Chains A and B, each alone.
Chain A
Amino acid sequence: MKYHLILRVVTRLLVGPILLYGLYVQFHGDFGPGGGFQAGVIFAVAFILYGIVFGLRDLRNRFPDRVIHQLFALGVLIYAGTGFVSVFLGANFLDYNVLAEKGYEGQHLGIIAVELGVGIAVFAVMLAIYYAFAARPPRIDDKDW
């Protein structure tokens, strides 16, 4: 992809807005369509676009495999951890009413935490899958497509 000037310029312009949109979808999921699952995928798409255009090695140096693998455990941990916090506060597993003074405020906190966990897990898994496929040496050359 060394010579595709237009692709490289457009990618540089697009990656930022895609990440911003991912964050919007993540934290606006309570009010409109969206949430952790979609935001995780959109976030991963920005990285994959970068990886396709600028090469996997560049992306891997900035975002090493080890970090990604830790992230997808962290996502599940945040989700299950929220459940255990409510258990320690004396309620049922994943019952958010006890997280704040008023029931619905607790629900808001719980939903934001859980969606964050989902977002991180989905983002990291999608990126790890992309790394795994892209790291293999291809059998078909670029010009054969």
Chain B
Amino acid sequence: MDRLLDPSFVLGHMNYWLFVVLMMTGLYIVVARGNLLKKIVGLNIFQAAVFMLYISAGKVRGGTAPILTDNPGEAYSNPLPHVLILTAIVVGIATTALGLALTTRINEVYGTIEEDEILEIDHQETEREVAAILATSAQDSANA
């Protein structure tokens, strides 16, 4: 615990802690909010936190962007996390669009995008089906 009192340690790890807070905020929105669109925004925040973790792992103090310059002694930041995250962002928007499309279809069928109301409608539907099945089987046994 001594390390937590050392300012250089705290400053060097502050970014990780902020990214944990951001990630947990996203997770909280996904878990605690019932609106489907808001859940998708929450997932995006969660995703942004992961992106930041990767990019901050690639940063080199005193380094520059990984585009080669004429100066041979130049220090560059690590290009590998940049590549991974660059493609992840575009894949992220494509999957977000898929989620939004699902939300739109759910809204057309159920008339709402609130999770609790959708579960309620599903519940009523099941009860109605069970009642119908029970009624027909009672009729069958009466006929027999």
Of residues 82 through 131 on chain B, the ones whose CB sits less than 8 Å from some CB of chain A are 86-87, 89-90, 93-94, 97, 100-101, 104
Asked if B67 is an interface residue, CB under 8 A from chain A, the answer is yes
Chain B binding surface SS class: helix
Q: Which residues of B contact A125 (CB under 8 A)?
A: 94
Are A133 and B86 touching (Cβ within 8 A)? no
* Complex: A35 Cα to B94 Cα, angstroms: 18
Q: Which residues on B sit within 8 Å (CB–CB) of A32?
A: 67
Q: Tell me the smallest distance from the CB of B51 to a CB of chain A, in Å.
A: 14
Complex Cα spacing A50 to B10, Å: 49
Query: B104, A41: Cβ atoms under 8 Å?
Result: no
User: How large, as a class, is the contact surface on chain A?
Assistant: 10 to 19
Whether a CB of chain B sits under 8 angstroms from the CB of A122 is yes
Q: A37-B90, A133-B101, A136-B104 are in contact. List 18 more A-B contacts (CB 8 A).
A: A31-B67, A32-B67, A33-B67, A35-B86, A37-B86, A37-B87, A37-B89, A41-B90, A122-B90, A125-B94, A126-B93, A129-B94, A129-B97, A129-B101, A132-B101, A133-B97, A133-B100, A133-B104
Chain B residues proximal to chain A, CB less than 8 Å: 65, 67, 86-87, 89-90, 93-94, 97, 100-101, 104
Can you list 17 A-B contacts (CB < 8 A)?
Answer: A31-B67, A32-B67, A33-B67, A35-B86, A37-B87, A37-B90, A41-B90, A122-B90, A125-B94, A126-B93, A129-B94, A129-B97, A132-B101, A133-B97, A133-B100, A133-B104, A136-B104
A residues lining the B interface (CB < 8 Å): 31-33, 35, 37, 41, 122, 125-126, 129, 132-133, 136
